[in-house]
Amino acid sequence: MERNVLLTIVVAALVTAVMRVGPILLLSRFRLAPLAQQWLSFIPAAIMAAIVTAELVEKPALTASGLSLSLLAALIAAVVGIITRGLFATVLAGMVAYTALRYFFGL
């Protein structure tokens, strides 16, 4: 049984590595058109927006009055991100804002 588990883990790791490295190795040999490069540059931001939106919609931290603490913290983080243009400051502001709001509202 232990051998099968180990074999399964190794095979899963190899499949995962090939799926992640394969496209990079294949696409590194081709020169993409500038329009395609520009279009692909938006994918990380779109994925991050989808993840954050899903979290805000599915698990909102609501106060007794119905105020969404998650949304308020996200707005604060967005404002800090626009002002500083820095990922570290944005993430830090969002975490501090969410923690402070939860403490202030007693959740």
More confident residue, 22 or 59: 22
Q: How many residues does the chain have?
A: 107
Give residue 51's pLDDT band: very low, low, confident or very high (50, 70, 90).
Answer: confident
Position with higher pLDDT, 76 vs 23: 76
Confidence of residue 1 (pLDDT cuts 50, 70, 90): low
Write down the pLDDT at residue 93: 94
- Tell me: the pLDDT tens digits for 8-34? 999 999 999 999 898 888 877 888 888
Average pLDDT of the chain to the nearest whole number: 86
Q: Which pLDDT does position 26 carry in this prediction?
A: 83
Rounded to whole angstroms, how far apart are CA atoms 62 and 43? Answer: 30
Strand, helix or coil for residue 62: strand
Domain ranges in the chain are 1-30, 34-105
In percent, the amount of the chain with pLDDT more than 90 equals 32
Q: Which residue has the tokens 């020169």?
A: 31
